Amino acid sequence: MTSSKVYLITGGNRGIGFELVKELSKDENNYIIATVRDPSKNDEFKVFSESKKNVSTVKLDLDKDSDIESLGNQLGKLTDKVDVFISNAGISDAYHKVVEAPKEVYITHYRVNALAPVFIFQKVYPFLKKSETKKAIFVSTAGASFSDFKPICVSAYASSKAALNFSVLQLSSELANEGFIIFAVHPGMVLSDMGNMAFEKLPRNMPDMKKYFAARVTPITPNESALSVQKVIEASDSQYNGKFYYYDGSEHEF
């Protein structure tokens, strides 16, 4: 069995995922497997990953069934276990009111944000079972919270993440007796490519959105988010199972 602590991070080539790869790989006892849609793309992540002995990549497009189906075989060539699975990859491009959102926007967001993480977990599950750690963290959003509903026009994005949250609850219940620790985390309002796009598009849909964000949301950088999420993951134990945490470590209701 692989002696290093093995992390699998989906969407590890940009934004929060890339920052998590950078921070976790600083510890040579960690082995990071990052999924990317196009491993051949010559970008900053590829240069970084090729310079690190403890970082590997696998091809995974969440919108391609063939990529998900091949994930187990790809992982098996690199490791015999996964200690920590971070389901980070997703999309957010649903800046519409519900009554205006195109059908395809809903279908795409549910396929990528709600369904793909579940099917990916099914492939990762046999590797997690071989670990003593057995942690699975699903990156969600405060915008999907029922208990703290926010009047933001993110239609399919928020509801797809709410669907993901329910799967997190189901998995945490089903696998608790096997020693799994499964929970969701809100990474903050992050100034990544995705977050910057939100700041550009949301005000056009709701004129008061800038005022809302200024009053209630403090944007953070991808690195600040990654460092905070890393602390939450490292602090997590069996008490975290089936819960929803914000990047600052506070617990919130779904």
Q: Nearest to residue 4, comparing CAs of 88, 80, 75, 57?
A: 80
pLDDT tens digits, one per residue of 89-146: 999 988 888 998 999 999 999 999 999 999 999 999 999 999 999 999 999 998 888 8
The whole-number pLDDT of residue 1 equals 60
- The tens digit of pLDDT for each residue in 10-33 reads 999 999 999 999 999 999 999 999
Both tokens of 226, joined, read 């990654």
Q: What is the pLDDT of residue 206?
A: 56
Return the biggest CA–CA distance within the chain. 55
Residue 11's alpha-carbon distances to 33, 78, 149, in angstroms, are 10, 18, 27
What pLDDT, on the 0 to 100 scale, is given for residue 41?
Answer: 87
Residue 241, domain extent: 5-252
Percent of the chain exceeding pLDDT 70 equals 89
- What's the total number of domains in the chain? 1
Rounded to whole angstroms, how far apart are CA atoms 179 and 184?
17
Q: Determine the Cα–Cα distance for residues 24 and 136; give it in Å rounded to an integer.
A: 16
- For residue 25, the domain's CATH number is 3.40.50.720
Dihedral sign, Cα of residue 116, residue 117, residue 119, residue 123: positive
pLDDT value of residue 209: 55
Residue 110 in 3-state DSSP? helix
Predicted confidence (pLDDT) at residue 231 exceeds the cutoff of 80: yes
What local confidence, expressed as pLDDT, does residue 200 receive? 61
Mean pLDDT of 217-235: 92
Give the start-end residues of each E strand in the chain: 5-9, 30-36, 55-59, 84-87, 135-139, 181-186, 244-246, 251-252
Q: How far is CA 72 from CA 91, 102, 112, 181, 216, in A?
A: 23, 34, 18, 21, 41
Question: What is d(CA 146, CA 140) in angstroms, rounded to the nearest whole number?
Answer: 13
CA distances from residue 201 to 41, 98, 152, 154, 204 in whole angstroms, order as listed: 28, 15, 11, 10, 6
pLDDT at 210 over 90: no
Task: Please report which confidence band the pLDDT of residue 190 belongs to, taking 50, 70 and 90 as the band edges.
Answer: confident
- Top pLDDT among 196 and 93 is at 93
Question: What is the end-to-end Cα distance of the chain in Å, rounded?
Answer: 36
Higher pLDDT, 207 or 112: 112
pLDDT for 155 equals 87
Nearest residue to 68 (alpha-carbon basis) of 103, 115, 6: 115
| Residues annotated as part of the active site | 157, 161
